[in-house]
Chain A
Amino acid sequence: MVSARSVSIGPGSLSYTDLPWIIQHREDRCTLCGHCTAVCPKEAIYLAYRRQRMPKLDVLKKKRGNEYRTFVGIRQKNNMANACIGCSMCSMVCPNEAIQPVPNTNEHRTLFFNNQKGEPMKRGGRRNKVGPTLLDRIMFNRISMLTDPALDAGRHEFNVTTTLGRTLDPAEFLKRTREGGWIPPTREIFPFVIGSMSFGALSPNMWLGLLQGVAYCNEVLGIPVVMCTGEGGCPPWILKSPYLKYIVLQIASGYFGWDEIIRAIPDMQCDPAAIEIKYGQGAKPGDGGLLMWFKVSKLIARLRGVPEGVDLPSPPVHQTLYSIEESVMKMIQTLSTAFGHKVPVYPKISASTSAKSVLNNLVRNPYASALLIDGIDGGTGAAYNVSMDATGHPIASNVRECYLDLVAQGKQNEIPIFAAGGIGKNGNVTQNGMALIMLGASGVHIGKYIMQAAAGCLGNERNRCNVCNVGICPKGITSQNPKLYRRLDPDVVAERVADVFMSIRTEMKKVMAPLGRSQSLPVGMSDALGIGDKAAADRLNIKYVC
């Protein structure tokens, strides 16, 4: 062994085999077109000239010598800032199938160096927990067999909508009807809601595509899908359009975009579907939102009423909160009043062991329309790794215990519970959603699944891509850079949204028909659920099956 003085080796020096993704490049196929290096969002690869010594030994002449060959090839950078994220854009643009990233199956050392410059790792995306979720493992096993045959999913009429909004106890409803009292507003919606992803977190093209798709679902397909804005306002042309009725407007702790919304109220052609007050988010509970400066474009700055190119952190809590109960009540009441008590207003909280106390607070608040609980498997545009991975509460048991608490009070029809966080994480969106519905949710919110299914988001649970936070989304879904978001055709996104919701509707029927259910969404039909895990079955109060 000799010293390698010419090689600089520091504590953080990495070889490319230390990186989570390794670029495999076939020089024999490379045309040197440079597309891959141009498209790489991380600038993880570069084109380089290399020299190769070719030892030459002439035995007859008894001479030794060297020849040198030069070649051009693609090389992978091995520093943290340029570490490959496995997005595969290089292979997508390669005309000759000469390049692709492959996951490093070794334990890679970047885990120990992702905290650079005193900052822990931040990223977008998900919790990065692979394998089937608890929801994936739930089976629908109360099949109508003998007394009543299963229904025909293709031919029977199915009612697959749910109620968003507070419902009165029947006696109170009749009393108020007789006396001309206020009946809280409700919406009849499709139980799979496009969860809150802000105009800012998402690119304009993504947003437009989603909205087009949602409008198509409602107006052509008859699937009453609604979508939530997330924090950050809503483009004025939507606020004043008849499409506002498909939009749930979110207000969060930064109140971004609400100047525009409040000013637009007199010009609104219709009411929004609902108002969501975000108190917490499952992916990063107790943490605020963060739109990093890269993404605060001119358009976003205008919508949010802020200067361009500055970080936009939302505080972890609403700054008006002193007494939580009082403030939540006042905020819900204020927003309900702002829309003439004609729009459901509900809070969104992180799943938590304290969710039940929030729920019970809402039960007593006549203006609270629902509760949305977001579990640990939810997604986010930007958060600290530790928040995403380790902070939070799984959704299933949280929803279940909240539902059973309402059942004990006889209030389960009055305050609908919506669930979010990991629905469709492994692609089983309908199965996951229906399992939550039968555990007691009135509907579910889906975010990551929509990004993946409708726009081709590349993120996965092995930390592929997950760079939503820095505005370099290679698909143009979460970028405000026109060069990137022009890659995303809104019409195609809209088409995929329609595909997704038509499929979910069909799959819902395929789940409901064998259970003999068609007339109402089987909310709380826990007798239809089974799981091959005794502890989980006991916790969820469903059947253990094996």
Chain B
Amino acid sequence: MCRLALKTANEAFSPYEVLQGMEAMQEGYDGSGLGLLLRGLDFDDFKYDSKYPVLSGIAHTEESWHRLNSFMENRGFELKYDHEFETRPELIEATDRYRYFIRAYKMPESMSTKPSDEIESELMLTRLALRKDGEEHGNDLTVFSFWPDVATIKEVGWPLEIGNALTLSDNRIKSRVCMAQGRQNTNYGINLYACHPFFIQGIATMTNGENTAFVPIRDWLLGKHFPGYTGYQSDSETFTHILHYTLKQLKLPLQAYKHIITPLRGEELARHPQGEFLAGLRDSCRRLIIDGPNAVIGTLPDETCMLVMDQKKLRPATVGGRPGAWAIASEMCGVDAMVPDRDPSLDFQPMREHTIIVPPERKELTIWSQHDPYPLDQAA
């Protein structure tokens, strides 16, 4: 089973805090990998403009590093900042790590007049092109995300060790939102791209548990022929893409995600005020029903954080915090480690029908139940 930790706070904090939260839950994972996603970036040595897209990944060879540079130049992206990690390679299991990179770029001038969906598409296609380039060269280049205000780090190994290897405790990079997952990848091969959180066009999720309905969901998403619906080294990547599909393609509110991945049963829908619409939504999105057990934790471009449970509620997740700082973790000890100065009696463990939403202002949690009226005016 994986362990998940997310912290969101008004004041940017070091990702190392979240790694310490992960360490508190250390019995729950096998140290086969770490994924970190930072949103709301704050660099010690650079005044970051949150409009600049940030490219995150690993160049495994010097050659790929040069290829990356020339690719980005040719595509018209101007390098504004290149975060240099103080690395301690001896703490990393893998030996083919030439350079971990988090680099901010200025968008090409030609894009400045384009509508936002074209810009978003260009960012995604750039990431995919770089990924493809790496795959065509013996996987010598791995790219995790390319998006404004988002940085991603993934590595194989014990989470805290990786934090130490990249000296994440030095406060040189901080963020207002940080997601972390300690991965145990039992079903599929150990692969950097199989590491959570998964990212597509500003949307990121991470999951514990197994997606038993993976193949039918993957087949359906591939059938959409959307360039970003690719990869699937992990069964959990489908959760990210379903969230993307819900929000970006169907343009539905966040509450719809729960209704799509775990629709209410027929008799529950019959009692629901918008039951007819929701039954239609269930039917048309039937192939996206996840069959858990999973807890899905996600973040959106506006720094909204969310947590949903699968229908069986067989995976643990707790949310707790105080105005201004909230934590979501697989275990209570993880929440304790990330936001110790809270009232633990107000911690909440969502049940099968719940979606927990931490809005960007971080004042209080929204505990939304599927049985609540659905915000229909936005959908239909």
Contact = CB atoms under 8 A, between A and B. Distances in A.
Given A148-B293, A156-B312, A167-B283, A515 B250 contact: no
Interface centre among A172, A188, A519 (most CB of B within 10 A): A519
Contacts of A409: 223
B56 interface: no
Contact of B210 (A147, A161, A167, A169): A147
B187 to A, nearest CB: 7
Contacts of B90: none
Interface in A392-420: 407-413
Contact of A173 (B266, B284, B290): B284
B95 interface: no
Contacts of A174: 250, 252, 281, 379-380
Interface string B304-334: 0000001110100000000000000000000
A171 interface: yes
Contacts of A517: 212-213, 291
Interface in B179-238: 184, 186-187, 209-210, 212-216, 219-220, 222-225
Contacts of A526: 215
B277 interface: yes
Q: Helix, strand, loop or mixed for chain A's interface? A: loop
A173 to B, nearest CB: 4
A432 interface: no
A300 to B, nearest CB: 37
Contact of A159 (B184, B214, B265, B283): B265
Given A147-B209, A413-B287, A519-B292, A161 B280 contact: no
B284 A151 contact: no
B159 to A, nearest CB: 18
Nearest to A222: B267
A183 B213 contact: no
29 contacts: A147-B187, A148-B210, A163-B283, A171-B249, A172-B284, A173-B280, A173-B281, A174-B250, A174-B380, A177-B277, A178-B380, A188-B266, A407-B223, A410-B223, A410-B224, A413-B220, A413-B285, A413-B286, A516-B210, A516-B212, A516-B292, A517-B213, A519-B213, A519-B289, A519-B292, A519-B311, A519-B312, A520-B291, A522-B213
Contacts of B214: 527
Contacts of A523: 216, 287
Interface string A314-335: 0000000000000000000000
A408 B184 CA distance: 32
Interface size grouping (class) on chain A: 35 or more
A519 B249 CA distance: 24
A413 B285 CA distance: 8
Interface string B346-380: 00000000000000000000000000000000011
B195 to A, nearest CB: 16
Interface string A409-443: 11111000000000000000000000000000000
Interface in A158-176: 159, 161, 163, 167-174
Nearest to B187: A147
Contact of A167 (B209, B224, B284, B311): B284
B152 interface: no
A524 B291 contact: no
A333 B214 CA distance: 36
A100 interface: no
Contacts of B266: 161, 188
A167 to B, nearest CB: 5
B274 to A, nearest CB: 10
A384 to B, nearest CB: 40
A401 to B, nearest CB: 14
B262 interface: yes
Given A159-B265, A173-B280, A519-B289, A412 B210 contact: no
Given A147-B1, A518-B312, A410 B292 contact: no
Nearest to A171: B250
A518 B291 contact: yes
A146 interface: yes
B210 A144 contact: yes
B287 A412 contact: yes
10 tightest CB-CB pairs across the interface, nearest first? A410-B223, A516-B212, A173-B284, A177-B380, A520-B289, A148-B210, A527-B215, A524-B216, A170-B284, A413-B287
A407 B215 CA distance: 11
A525 interface: yes
Contact of B223 (A412, A515, A527): A412
A173 B281 CA distance: 7
Contacts of B220: 407, 410, 412-413
Interface in A226-282: none
Interface in A104-154: 144, 146-148, 151
Contacts of A297: none
Interface centre among B223, B262, B285 (most CB of A within 10 A): B223
